[in-house]
Structure 1
Amino acid sequence: MAPMLIRSAAVDDAAAIHALHNAAFTPHNPGVTGELPEARLVDELRADGDLLPELSLVAVREGQVIGHACSSPGRIGDDAKSAIGFGPLGVLPEHQRTGAGAALVHATVGAANALGYQLVMLLGSPEYYSRFGFVLAGTLGITPPVAEWAPYFQALPLAAYRPENHGAFRYAPAFDRL
């Protein structure tokens, strides 16, 4: 298998990122045709100026964008640097299970830690994300924006984490428009 590069997403990557999220999430959206919510979310985060450039990363293999992970500002309470909302994370179906997703998670976590964020928050599979150290957010006293999300709403405490920082988490506004 060809080597993979993780780099910051560029403006010219927007179409490839949109297409890969549609492809990656098609199996999870049976019966849905056209643009999928995950692809639309990334586009809306970008349009709102809420894609954090240093945390919007692509995996590239042989010149092709095969994966994308993005993060947007989030907050717990009034602390604007308390947390980021991670996701969506997508990898083209033919490149899944090749390490691209894991590499994007590790790169995001490392960058978020270096930038001084306290927590990485996400909505996703506990079976997948627990291997990176994510725990159910409720165990840290953090509640999701939608109560039904609790079994899938996860947090990863980073070096700057303060246990007294708990309460309701808020994603960037584009999440509210899904």
Structure 2
Amino acid sequence: MPDTPDKPDPIATARAHWVRAGWGDVADGMVAVTSVMRAHQILLARVETALRPYELSFSRFELLRLLAFSRTGSLPIAKASARLQVHVTSVTHAIRRLEDAGLVRRLPHPTDGRTTLVQITEDGRRTVEQATATLNDEVFADIGVSGADSRTLAAVIDTLRRSAGDF
């Protein structure tokens, strides 16, 4: 959305305030953080709109997609938590919601009585395939920047993630 007299860029305005307040030396960092946060809101809204017909949040979609990609269609809950980079409590909550919808089921681990597996159902597999096609068409095919800019953005974010110890 271009900056117009009727609709100024709030982040540019915040930058000007930061500089006037004497924090010009950190204004670039504030702008970067605020921009990423706003971009997250924009993209999440688009993803949630695309997933609404499937009654899925993005976190539940990610779990279903992870299970669909797994060779057996199932994973230990702790492994799903680690791969999705979220706390096991969040994964357990997503599993509960997906179970209620008949998209996954919990199973005892065949060799480790301390571990519970989460397994995608056939309904879950159909749902995630349809939801993936919708996300590919409605969001991922055009996120609002060129393919080259998308790759550059991902590379810059990779640098941030690496410096934070994410991988």
- Please report the TM-score for the alignment, with normalisation by the length of structure 1: 0.27
Q: Kindly name which structure, 1 or 2, has the bigger radius of gyration based on alpha carbons.
A: 2
Q: Which of structures 1 and 2 has the larger relative contact order (alpha carbons within 8 angstroms, sep 6+)?
A: 1
Q: Which has the higher helix share?
A: 2
Q: Looking at secondary structure, tell me which structure has more strand per residue.
A: 1
Give the TM-score normalised by structure 2: 0.28
